[in-house]
Amino acid sequence: MPADRWRADQDGETLVPTHCCFCGVQCGMYLRVDRGGKVFGVEPRNHDINRMRLCPKGINAYQQVNHPDRLTAPLMRRSRDEDFREVSWDEALDFTVSEIRRIQQSHGNDAFGLLGGASLFSEKTYLVGKFARVALKSRHVDYNGRLCMVSAAGANKLAFGIDRAGNPFSDILLTDCLLIAGSNVGECFPVMTQYVWGARDRGAILIVVDPRETAIARTADIHVALRPGTDSAFFNSVLHVVVEEGLTDEAYLAAHATGWEEVKAKAAEYPPARAAEICGVPAEQIVQVARAFARAPKAMAWHARGIEHHSQGVENCLSVINLCTATGHLGRPGAGYGTLTGQGNGQGGREHGQKADLLPGGRSIMNEEHRRQICGIWGIEESELPPAGTSMMEMVWQMQRREIRGLIGICNNPFVSLPNYAVVKEGYDATEFHAQLDFFLSETAANAHVVLPVTTWAEDEGVMANAEARVVKHNKAQDPPPGVRTDTWVMCELARRLGAGDKFAFPDSRAVFDELRIASAGTVNDYYGITYERLEETGGIVWPCPSTDHPGTPRLFEDGRTYHPDGKIHLQVVEWHSPMDPYDDEHPMSLTTGRTVAHFLSGNQTRRLGALVEQTPRPWAEIHPSHGFRNGEPVRVVTRRGSEVFPALVTEAIRPDTVFVPYHWPVPTAANALTIDALDPRSKIPEYKVCACRIEHAEKIDEVPAPPVAPGHVAYPETQVSRTDPLPPTSPQGRGTSERG
Amino acid sequence: MMGRTIFIDPGRCIGCQACVSACRECDSHRGKSMIHLDYTDEGHSVASLPTVCMHCEDPVAPCAEVCPADAILVTADGVVQQADTTRCIGCANCVNACPFGVPKIDLGAKLQMKCNLCYDRTAYGLAPMCATVCPTGALFYGTVEELQAERPGVQVADTFTFGRSEVRTGVAMVVPADRVRWPVPGGLPVVEINGKDVRR
Ligand code: SF4
Ligand code: SF4
């Protein structure tokens, strides 16, 4: 009996091996299932990824499976002025289908859109893409991974022709210099920290680039606390120093890269003195970073939303790639790059066609050849396959303009997660019909016409790809509660009613996965060799995996070849430009947003779990002591979109010119009522990480609303804990101050 | 010499409270956490430090020593148990006696509760729940040799001084290994915010 299968047999309880439903680390865990077949607890699992470790979200995740707030019957209303009533599945689906028909007949197929999510299993994200194009025949499909790591995806695709991290987590343990940019690893990917600390134990130099002193920045050898929105200036300057000091790997560049001369010429325009001024950091730090990174025998760079959530997110990521390439730190154990994905399936969620411009296998919807291949698999005419659609935020703008009049949302909560809440609300309110699939009534679902109750991750099987592009299998631990259906069933049933039933004859996830494997065969994102059986045996396989005897590809470019036809790294020139929301006398500071360790994305799930609510019941505004606020005092944060009042968390762990507000809560405590809906022109990712703001003294702190629940349910008392307290009962990560002394 | 025990390494703690949540999930006192997290330099740094029961050895655990009802038993392998429900009178002497501030009293139940090193798990060869999940290894369960194999050069301390008394504990603290550190430039003086001079 393996040590982590303790007592399972004795108590009549079973342990179902699966993975955490939350972030892109995808920790292995067992769900404890009682004799009656109900999930009632969690037990850590000795999986390669996490080796028993779990963060508080993972430990508490099981509590949502049988949570009293679960939706158990379809909800419906004909207009937003009415209250929801519980209806049968037939009535809800009939109404949905008749509204789709009505809108598409009078305004064209593209007037109806679909928005998916990157917390869905890959099978379901594949279905979202296929459903939009084949059943709805609409070009308008996108997903909330658009808000997550598409900048990194875009940069990797441009430079390497493949969109994923270059190295497995375990390579971190082998590196001599670890550079982490814009990633609060301790709170957003806590279980990754063991790799960071492991590297440090072996003497690796740790460099953290972040405007805040996070838990990993605290112990970093070099913490570069740069001004938000200046990352590419910083990395250009580091590259400048690398070139100046003769630390480039010219042999590597000559053999493997194109565009180096242009990149080098651009870097020459960023001497440390200039970058120091732009970034607000000492010039010597830039020199230190360059030397540490370039001189290390093996160096790695990992980044996350901190550099990606920008109107120049793609460029920021490219500037990191330029640095790794110029120093020859790629494709070796302990040398390379990676992106930490926010959502569990942030990586896999975009690989199989739910992104506006992608078809399964990462194929481009603009490419004739790719279109032909997919139409062959789907059994439709090429003329029937719609062209590329628009991104998630652009779809909301189209809803505002009534170009998109109907919408189905699956597994997303844009009322909390999209920037510039006022615009989002206006867009959604303008739709004539809106259906939402979820297992809790999210803030967005509470505004819909139809809400369809679907399964949690513990009630179905399917795969996700974690931040290393390792495909892992989630297993079913319990039957869904009566009245609840799988997302797969709902999409297939809707397709049947729309007349495309023959293309959606999928009895279960496995059937979808087998089509997905075939649809990905021969592409860069090759899943063909991955089967459920192999996943169960191995604990995860990293794609590309072209055949059933292929071991997978944990590390890229070991032979020096990229996935471009010429096998080269295509370096791109990066020019820094200032963020989209300009500073002025009224708005002299930067507002930046991010996550807390206790909550996940829009908080629709975690804001309902007692322990997590207790740990971090509400957002706050983190400010430097120099502004004269006392801890817990109401501080109004004002941007050009609006203003909200938070308790101040006064700390030296943030730049004086920067304010931080975590974003998991709805209005009137939503950071995203303040953020700007400016997009990166290439990745269309919103600029969450920087906008101009000012802070003022205020009278009263805005109260956090309780999460919405279905009619007839009572708000679960545990989730109401201390929502009105001015400060969290335990201060988040020690940022709460008592004045010194 | 120390057997299999918990080692606390504050240098690694990220304040995530996974340990707190995990403690609440373990079977010996389900629903209540026996860990607390301290922030050692609040407002200036995010440094945090988990406190679990230190399972004092020498002299006899102070909590057990002062218990008038002999409710706190110490096992042969040095684990200081949670109060025996049939004996505890909820007087809170133990709370006052513990130099580390560990035992808690459930006033309603008139019962003392504390970490018992997950006896229900360690008996099966598993690590205590907090040390199992701790994502960073700030809580490590094993022998000192296993710890040092994983973290070369670390030293541990298991003796603490309070005034004139000394306590030797079963749980140990990790003392960081000496290593060459790069100078980290301190915080910037506040003279300008995004280009604006704010020295008024
Ligand atoms: S949220 Fe992420 S780090 Fe935490 S347990 Fe889940 S997968 Fe692991
Ligand atoms: S789980 Fe580990 S890292 Fe997290 S707070 Fe507890 S001791 Fe610190």
State residue B160's pLDDT score: 86
Model pTM score: 0.92
- Say if residue A418 is exposed, middle or buried (CB neighbours under 10 Å; 0-12, 13-18, 19+): buried
Q: Is A25 on the interface with B (CB under 8 A)?
A: no
Cβ <8 Å between A227 and B21: no
- The whole-angstrom distance between A274's CA and the closest CA on chain B is 13
CA-to-CA separations, A731 to A262, A336, B25, B48, in angstroms, rounded: 48, 36, 22, 11
Question: What span, in angstroms and rounded, lies between the C-alpha atoms of A577 and A113?
Answer: 33
Give the model's confidence band at A694: pLDDT under 50 very low, under 70 low, under 90 confident, else very high.
Answer: very high
Residues of chain B in contact with residue A639, where contact means CB-CB under 8 angstroms, are none
State residue B110's pLDDT score: 82
Mean pLDDT for B133-154 is: 91
**Cβ(A392)–Cβ(A683) under 8 Å?**
no
Q: Around B25, how many Cα atoms within 13 Å sit in the side-chain half-sphere?
A: 31
Residues contacting A340, CB < 8 A, separation 6+:
A24, A25, A183, A185, A188, A189, A192, A302, A303, A304, A467
pLDDT in tens, A391-446: 999 999 999 999 999 999 999 999 999 999 999 999 999 999 999 999 999 999 99
Question: What span, in angstroms and rounded, lies between the C-alpha atoms of A582 and A585?
Answer: 10
Helices (H), A269-367: 272-279, 283-295, 305-308, 313-326
Q: Is B54 on the interface with A (CB under 8 A)?
A: no
- The whole-angstrom distance between A300's CA and the closest CA on chain B is 18
Ligand closest to A169 (CA) is 1
Mean pLDDT for A50-62 is: 95
Helices (H), chain B: 18-25, 62-66, 93-97, 119-122, 129-133, 144-150
Token pair for A316: 């920021």
Q: Whose CA is nearest to atom 3 of ligand 2?
A: B13
- Say if residue A482 is exposed, middle or buried (CB neighbours under 10 Å; 0-12, 13-18, 19+): exposed
State residue B58's pLDDT score: 75
Q: Is B30 on the interface with A (CB under 8 A)?
A: no
- Given a cut of 50, whether residue A205 has pLDDT beyond it is yes
State residue A159's pLDDT score: 96
Q: Measured in angstroms, how far is the CA atom of residue A53 from the centroid of ligand 2?
A: 11
Question: What span, in angstroms and rounded, lies between the C-alpha atoms of A435 and A493?
Answer: 15
- Given a cut of 80, whether residue A103 has pLDDT beyond it is yes
- Taking each helix axis from N to C terminus, what angle separates A260-267 and A231-244, rounded to the nearest 10 degrees? 100
Average pLDDT, chain A: 92
In chain B, residues 151-170 whose CB comes closer than 8 Å to chain A: 151-152
Q: Is A52 on the interface with B (CB under 8 A)?
A: yes
Most informative mutation of B7, B9, B12, B13 for ligand 2 (most atoms within 8 A of CB): B13
| DSSP 8-state secondary structure symbol assigned to residue A580 | S
How many residues does this entry show for chain A? 741
Mean pLDDT for A128-142 is: 96
Indicate if ligand 1 lies below 6 Å from the C-beta of A21. no
Mean pLDDT for A254-266 is: 96
Cβ <8 Å between A736 and B43: yes
Question: What span, in angstroms and rounded, lies between the C-alpha atoms of A503 and A700?
Answer: 56
Token pair for A86: 């519980």
- Given a cut of 90, whether residue A642 has pLDDT beyond it is yes
- Residue A93 sits at φ, ψ, to 5 deg, of -70, -40
- Given a cut of 60, whether residue A733 has pLDDT beyond it is no
Percent of chain A exceeding pLDDT 90 equals 88
Indicate if ligand 2 lies below 6 Å from the C-beta of B14. yes
Question: What span, in angstroms and rounded, lies between the C-alpha atoms of A723 and A608?
Answer: 12
State residue A294's pLDDT score: 95
Q: Is B104 on the interface with A (CB under 8 A)?
A: no
Q: Is A656 on the interface with B (CB under 8 A)?
A: yes
Q: A148-166: buried (b, 16+ CB within 10 Å) or exposed (e) per residue?
A: bbbbbbbbbbbbbbbbbbb
- The whole-angstrom distance between A191's CA and the closest CA on chain B is 5
For residue A388, give the 3-state DSSP assignment: coil
- In DSSP notation, A516-567 reads HHHHHTTSSS--TT--HHHHHHHS-EESP--STT----SSS-TTS--SSTT-
Helices (H), A441-486: none
ipTM score of complex: 0.89
Q: Which has the higher per-residue pLDDT, A152 or A201? A: A152
- The whole-angstrom distance between A335's CA and the closest CA on chain B is 21
Ligand closest to A600 (CA) is 1
Question: What span, in angstroms and rounded, lies between the C-alpha atoms of B36 and A432?
Answer: 51
State residue A207's pLDDT score: 96
**Cβ(B82)–Cβ(B112) under 8 Å?**
yes
DSSP lists the bridge partners of residue B80 as B74
Cβ <8 Å between A733 and B14: yes
- Say if residue A251 is exposed, middle or buried (CB neighbours under 10 Å; 0-12, 13-18, 19+): exposed
Place of tokens 């990676």: A338
Mean pLDDT for A236-254 is: 96
Question: What span, in angstroms and rounded, lies between the C-alpha atoms of A93 and A497?
Answer: 8
State residue B192's pLDDT score: 52
Ligand closest to B135 (CA) is 2
Long-range pairs of A478-481 with CB within 8 A, sequence gap ≥ 24: A478/A31, A478/A33, A478/A37, A478/A38, A478/A39, A478/A65, A479/A37, A480/A455, A481/A66, A481/A70, A481/A72
Place of tokens 């379901």: A124
Average pLDDT, chain B: 82
Element (H, E) at A223: strand A222-224
pLDDT in tens, A360-375: 999 999 999 999 999 9
Relative to beta strand A433-438, strand A406-410 is: parallel
Q: Measured in angstroms, how far is the CA atom of residue B17 from the centroid of ligand 2?
A: 5
Amino acid at A446: A
Mean pLDDT for A196-202 is: 90
Amino acid at A143: Y
Which among B42, B151, B152 has the least Cβ separation from residue A734? B42
Of A38-52, A679-693, B39-53, the least confident:
B39-53
Question: What span, in angstroms and rounded, lies between the C-alpha atoms of A565 and A558?
Answer: 16
Mean pLDDT for A46-73 is: 94
**Cβ(A459)–Cβ(A65) under 8 Å?**
yes
State residue B187's pLDDT score: 34
Cβ <8 Å between A733 and B126: no
- Say if residue A355 is exposed, middle or buried (CB neighbours under 10 Å; 0-12, 13-18, 19+): buried
Q: Is B186 on the interface with A (CB under 8 A)?
A: no
- The whole-angstrom distance between A152's CA and the closest CA on chain B is 26
Q: Around B171, how many Cα atoms within 13 Å sit in the side-chain half-sphere?
A: 25
Residues contacting A254, CB < 8 A, separation 6+:
none
Q: Measured in angstroms, how far is the CA atom of residue A330 from the centroid of ligand 2?
A: 32
Mean pLDDT for B77-86 is: 88
Handedness of CA A605, A609, A613, A615 (dihedral sign): negative
Of A113-122, A128-137, B153-162, the least confident:
B153-162
- For an interface test with A, give the residue of B9, B32, B37, B42 to mutate (most A CBs within 10 A): B42
State residue A532's pLDDT score: 95
- Given a cut of 80, whether residue A727 has pLDDT beyond it is no
**Cβ(A469)–Cβ(A347) under 8 Å?**
yes
Give the model's confidence band at A672: pLDDT under 50 very low, under 70 low, under 90 confident, else very high.
Answer: very high
Give the model's confidence band at B199: pLDDT under 50 very low, under 70 low, under 90 confident, else very high.
Answer: very low
Question: What span, in angstroms and rounded, lies between the C-alpha atoms of B105 and B82?
Answer: 11
Q: Is A119 on the interface with B (CB under 8 A)?
A: no
Token pair for A78: 């004909």
- Given a cut of 60, whether residue A461 has pLDDT beyond it is yes
Question: What span, in angstroms and rounded, lies between the C-alpha atoms of A58 and A38?
Answer: 18
**Cβ(A378)–Cβ(A504) under 8 Å?**
no
- In DSSP notation, B44-98 reads T---EEEE----EEETT-HHHHH-TT----B-TTS-BPPPPTTT-----HHHHH-
Cβ <8 Å between B43 and A292: no
Q: Whose CA is nearest to atom 2 of ligand 1?
A: A23
Of A48-62, A573-587, B145-159, the least confident:
B145-159
Question: What span, in angstroms and rounded, lies between the C-alpha atoms of B151 and B8?
Answer: 13
**Cβ(A351)–Cβ(A361) under 8 Å?**
yes
Residues of chain A in contact with residue B137, where contact means CB-CB under 8 angstroms, are 194, 197
Question: Which ligand 2 atom sits nearest the alpha carbon of residue B8?
Answer: 7
Give the model's confidence band at A724: pLDDT under 50 very low, under 70 low, under 90 confident, else very high.
Answer: very low
Q: Is A609 on the interface with B (CB under 8 A)?
A: no
Q: What angle do CA A686, A692, A694 make, to 5 degrees?
A: 140
Q: Measured in angstroms, how far is the CA atom of residue B127 from the centroid of ligand 2?
A: 15
Which among A59, A218, A223 has the least Cβ separation from residue B47? A218
Q: A40-74: buried (b, 16+ CB within 10 Å) or exposed (e) per residue?
A: ebbbbbbbebbbbbbbbbbbbbbbbbebebbbebb
Other CB atoms within 10 Å distance of the CB of residue B197: 8
State residue B76's pLDDT score: 86
- Given a cut of 90, whether residue B45 has pLDDT beyond it is no
Ligand closest to B35 (CA) is 2
* Ramachandran category for residue A339: left, alpha or beta (phi over 0 → left; psi -120 to 50 → alpha): beta
State residue A135's pLDDT score: 96
